[in-house]
Structure 1
């Protein structure tokens, strides 16, 4: 596991103030421009922070899904939704001096997986604000990166019965079709299986955003077993890549084992529940 030493400023005494460009960000659900509860909460805090007399610029962005023309239009709809909400809360429309939609042209990351795509589905509210300048010293803070899938499986603490979440393992909405951004995770899992020929796993699918324990509807098969189909699809991919079928099991749990209760309130909670795990059957 890698370790990074970062320099962190100690918050002690404030020596001065400086004008600088500040940014507040709100995020959106996939292919949507409606404001989420998280977004309105952020915007309400922005309105209450006495910054709304400043000149404001709105910049809209999308994830990588769909074409440029579609995403350009979607990003503008998102900026307009933010503008209309701010105006409804008392911000003068005259203070909103710029609105631009960049579509998918300015991503913050590589759009690998739902978490990264969520970060890109955003509107940035840019304004002039006051920044505190801190005059204290610097200390080193040790921050640990999360273990890779390979490290987790090979860790001696990972025993039979252990479950590991496959990070950035995602599918097209309401289908068992694997997103291209999930391939690095699959490739790593294949390599781990080949490197550890006695390893037997069960792939376990879970869904979010549904009341009760039932499974989701798979629009590809028109059956009510979405989480099972997703787990099965991963096993099929592993088998096609040279992993013996006898080393692969699958199971769908639907919404039986949510990590956060329904209704999920944030995108992070939805991602946590909409997940794929592997259980170590034999190591």
Structure 2
């Protein structure tokens, strides 16, 4: 019984939603999709506007060297990414790009091995405007708004998946308010010294890059890390609540 339970647990989607996939194929030694795949990709894009790309995996056939095929797979991933970006599809902030080259279980049909697999998830429609979106919409130049419910892995700029909802709120607010210009400000907690690894800047940059990948004009935003120079509570913090409040990302309104 325990084994069955473990298997069922492993089969459950980790992030709370089921990822789907679509495959794009390439001719021998080419890094741009073949004509039939381009037609299929265009049709797929037309029917899947409300999705977010989460992962791109690149594969090659067994011909040529391992190193050559890995680089070819990387170029194939990039060509597909550019096509998806030009189509206006959204990308997950933690988009994964993995080039397998020929290091995978190959099909006997070589044409099936020359591919890029696109993983994607449907974006849930926004039912009501969030409090954060309302704040941004009604904000004035000079105001600073905390980006709520944004979490990062420890000492890293990699964003925890449960933060994706608020990032999407920020993206929608930027799309719906074309005059809005912002500075993304990163802050960390718990350190009595300077931010040696510049984590605060890296975290602010991660959010900036997410917006940039999703077609927000770079002229409308900038980012900056403040390390521990602007704590809400005195460092060292007395408890985890104070640490959480110091460890934050804020949005400074430049224009609205």
Larger % of helix: which?
2
Larger Rg: 1
